[in-house]
Structure 1
Amino acid sequence: MEASTGTILYEKDPDTPRPPASVTKIMTMLLIFDALEEGKIHLDDTVPVSEHAASMGGSQVFLEVGETQSVDTMLKCISVASANDACVCMAEYICGSEEEFVRQMNQRAKELGMNHTTFINCNGLDADGHETSARDIALMSKELITKYPQIHDYCTIWMENITHTTRKGTSEFGLTNTNKLIRQYEYATGLKTGSTGLAKFCVSATAKKNDIELIAVILGADNSKTRFQDAVTLLNYGFASCQIYKDYSPPKLGKIKIIGGVKENIPCKYKTTFQYLDTNGQNLSAITKHLELKKELHAPIQKGDSVGNLIYKLNGEEIGRIQILAAVSSDKASFWDCLKKLLSFYFHVA
């Protein structure tokens, strides 16, 4: 998948539900970043460790009951070392219980169109009915890396130590990245590995080259080496077969005349930056732009109202468009507004 547009470049059996192992943690981290953005939690918050969290098996950082770690450190433990115990700590910290956190994971999945996904826990340990698909993993990976690109600050750490402070004293614990592509593939930027008896070996691998960001998902590989080899094969194919056009300098927009409004004219703006993904080797320098913008509007106008489009064509065919929006609102002028305007004009002329 190309990350910015969500275009699928290659797929094989993308919708069969399978156990995803620790690739599950992509959704866990997405909810953590959602909570950070909403101000519910902060990176320097201290997160306690419960008995339930400390009891997690599998990959862990051996957090002890009563110990605390910052949200920032917990994110490192989850992203780098795939720590099951840290996932449960964060789930309980954000939602009060892992059960409520998992409910929100499933709700977020539904919102993203992940139609073949059911989460039973927040860390990916094998559980009946805990499953997702390659396409669904790509969708949540896209959401995480495009909405919260700071995730790469965590998932590209190769090795780092954390400090355990417990009743027994203070000790250092080394985190080592489970994603070997960070060292083995020059364009690698993340994202998450996973392996269990049921899931076998899985990875959602992200990489960036020349402004193109790709996501390659492998599920059910027989061994760790194969999942990474297959991911690299997909990424190399993607980089070789696509190019992206992003218009960072669209035509400048003037003001639009308002009839019967408090304001005589209003500024407008583009809704977004236009981008186009080509997989056919076309000459993207031949792309043309055509501005369709209303010359005048009748009040009232609300900020965000559509007032036109910038249309992009290649070889005479439209390849996309972006909306032009009113940058401010303008109420309809009242009798008194008109009178004040008339008096102002009269005295100015006089």
Structure 2
Amino acid sequence: MGYGKFKALIYVLCLTLVLNVIWTVLPQSAKAAELAPLQLEAKSAVLMEVSTGQVLYNMNADIPLPPASMSKMMTEYIVVEQIKQGKLSWDQPVNTTANAAAQIGSRIFLAEGDQHTVKELYIAMAVGSANDATVALAEHISGTEQSFVKLMNDTAKKIGLSSKSHFINATGLSRSDMPAAFRPESPDKETLMTALDAAKLAYHIVTKHPEALEISKIPSYKFRERDTKPMINYNWMLEGNKDNENFRRYVFEGMDGLKTGHTNEAGYCFTGTAERNGMRLISVVMGTKSEPKRFIETKKVMDYGFNNFEKKTIIAQGAQLADVKTVKITKGKENEVPVTAEKEITVVLKKGDTPDSVKIAAAPTPKEKLVAPIKKGQQVGTVTVTYGDTKQNLKLIASEDMNKAGGMKLFFRAIGDFFRDLFSGIKDLF
């Protein structure tokens, strides 16, 4: 072999070795980058996908911390709930109380006796984080702020927040910053929330009352005609700020909510929500050291979600499950009724994962508890969807009506069952 051919052979062998190393290492490096911790400069954080409720990222998300004005999300939720229930209306006038007028911090400088509508005060609360507007709404609903606080804590239990989260006022202010005459009696309690509970609260807002996002996404709002300047939304990441040179660098595509918060004790906090390509995420970042930092850290969390996960429908609505197509029933015209999951089964998968990584298990209700007639849509069991550490529970429902069999049919069926059991018993003897 000549020197030139030998040199060429060595070159080919080296090139092959390098390519093999690249192809071997690259997928591992990509995976390592995807799973690497975000190294957030925050005390806690969480990321949730809304349609499934899946938690995609968790950093100290179960530790209770002061949430500051993020606790106003509970006041916002209750106000819209009361409107839906007919107990309030958007155009209803609200009188400013002494307690509301005495609030400090973020406010719109209401005087005692001032009158504004529920909607005006709600916008001031959601956009400008106005403490005076928040207390005015709270006392209009419950008479006193402390009566409203009881409603807040009762609502927290009702929607499934943990016992680690507790409210002492409608605003999120520290106890020492509340007007002295209106502070709660317990001097040792402060408002605390976990990042996960803040995400759950935001989840209930965006799923039950998505119209609230039409207000939370307002970049600025002029509260009174005489006001020389509009209030500016503390959420710099709103997509509506894309033409605002002061906030443009923080703008995040699809961001339309939800609530910032700041006190000396809490640091800077933010519950954000954004939607892209049909997937809505909720992020919570608590305890950052500066106002810009809460948005910088939120972008890291949101980017992690949108870059690494995607929604996939595993089973379409109305489609039968592979393992359980029917469920046995008692006294029906037929012994079985066709079944399906109550809704489409959708999971948020890591990009690159396949539906094979999702486990679906159906548990039918025992047939002795399913007595005809069975109505279409009636629950006849449960479906558990497992992906990684995440579980979803859905109803298994009848996909058609099943009427009760006539008396004669039940009689002959009973005789058939008797002889079937008899012959089965005799066979077992041998």
Deviation per residue, 1:14-67 (Å, 9 max, x gap): 222211110111111111121112111111211111111111110011122222
Amino acid at match of 1:227: R
Sort the Cα spacing of 1:130 and 1:321 in 2 relative to 1 into closer, same or farther, 3 A.
Answer: closer
Amino acid at match of 1:32: V
Whose strand proportion is higher, 1 or 2? 1
Give unmatched runs, 5+ long, in structure 1.
165-169, 336-350
Aligned residue number for residue 348 of structure 2: 277
* CA distance, structure 1, for counterparts of residue 60 and residue 363 of structure 2: 42
* CA distance, structure 2, for counterparts of residue 4 and residue 271 of structure 1: 15
SS at match of 1:58: coil
CA-CA distance at 1:207 after TM superposition: 1.1
Contact 1:49 1:68 in 2 (8 A): yes
SS at match of 1:163: coil
Contact 2:161 2:201 in 1 (8 A): no
* CA distance, structure 2, for counterparts of residue 119 and residue 11 of structure 1: 23
SS at match of 1:9: strand
Aligned residue number for residue 39 of structure 1: 86
Amino acid at match of 1:87: T
* CA distance, structure 2, for counterparts of residue 328 and residue 95 of structure 1: 46
Out of 169, 172, 182, the position equivalent to 1:121 is 169
CA-CA distance at 1:245 after TM superposition: 2.1
Aligned residue number for residue 424 of structure 2: none
SS at match of 1:193: strand
Aligned residue number for residue 146 of structure 1: 207
Farther-moved stretch of structure 1 (149-158 vs 180-189): 180-189
* CA distance, structure 1, for counterparts of residue 319 and residue 305 of structure 2: 34
Asked if 1:59 is matched to 2:106, the reply is yes
SS at match of 1:190: strand
Out of 224, 230, 249, the position equivalent to 1:174 is 230
Asked if 1:88 is matched to 2:159, the reply is no
Aligned residue number for residue 325 of structure 1: 397
CA-CA distance at 1:180 after TM superposition: 0.3
* Equivalences for residues 169-248 of structure 1 within 5 A: 174-182=230-238, 183=241, 184-246=251-313
Sort the Cα spacing of 1:246 and 1:100 in 2 relative to 1 into closer, same or farther, 3 A.
Answer: farther
* CA distance, structure 2, for counterparts of residue 38 and residue 276 of structure 1: 32
Asked if 1:26 is matched to 2:73, the reply is yes
Sort the Cα spacing of 1:291 and 1:8 in 2 relative to 1 into closer, same or farther, 3 A.
Answer: closer
Out of 46, 50, 56, the position equivalent to 1:9 is 56
CA RMSD of aligned residues (A): 3.7
Amino acid at match of 1:189: D
Sort the Cα spacing of 1:16 and 1:40 in 2 relative to 1 into closer, same or farther, 3 A.
Answer: same
Out of 175, 185, 194, the position equivalent to 1:133 is 194
CA-CA distance at 1:247 after TM superposition: 6.9
Normalised by the length of structure 1, the TM-score is 0.78
Give unmatched runs, 5+ long, in structure 2.
1-47, 176-188, 242-250, 321-326, 408-430
SS at match of 1:181: coil
Larger gyration radius, structure 1 or structure 2: 2
Amino acid at match of 2:129: S
CA-CA distance at 1:306 after TM superposition: 1.8
Sort the Cα spacing of 1:303 and 1:47 in 2 relative to 1 into closer, same or farther, 3 A.
Answer: farther
Contact 2:109 2:132 in 1 (8 A): yes
Contact 2:316 2:345 in 1 (8 A): no
CA-CA distance at 1:96 after TM superposition: 1.6
Report how many aligned residue pairs link the two structures.
323
CA-CA distance at 1:331 after TM superposition: 9.0
Contact 1:119 1:129 in 2 (8 A): yes
Contact 1:46 1:70 in 2 (8 A): yes
Amino acid at match of 2:343: T
SS at match of 2:49: coil
CA-CA distance at 1:298 after TM superposition: 4.5
* Equivalences for residues 295-314 of structure 1 within 5 A: 298-301=371-374, 305-307=378-380
Whose helix proportion is higher, 1 or 2? 2
Sort the Cα spacing of 1:291 and 1:222 in 2 relative to 1 into closer, same or farther, 3 A.
Answer: closer
Aligned residue number for residue 341 of structure 1: none
CA-CA distance at 1:72 after TM superposition: 1.4
* CA distance, structure 1, for counterparts of residue 402 and residue 66 of structure 2: 54
* CA distance, structure 2, for counterparts of residue 304 and residue 206 of structure 1: 33
Sort the Cα spacing of 1:9 and 1:268 in 2 relative to 1 into closer, same or farther, 3 A.
Answer: closer
* CA distance, structure 1, for counterparts of residue 63 and residue 405 of structure 2: 59
Deviation per residue, 1:152-182 (Å, 9 max, x gap): 1011000121227xxxxx6576221010011
Amino acid at match of 2:138: A
SS at match of 2:348: strand
SS at match of 1:47: strand
Deviation per residue, 1:259-307 (Å, 9 max, x gap): 9789xxx99986334321212522459999999999x974344676324
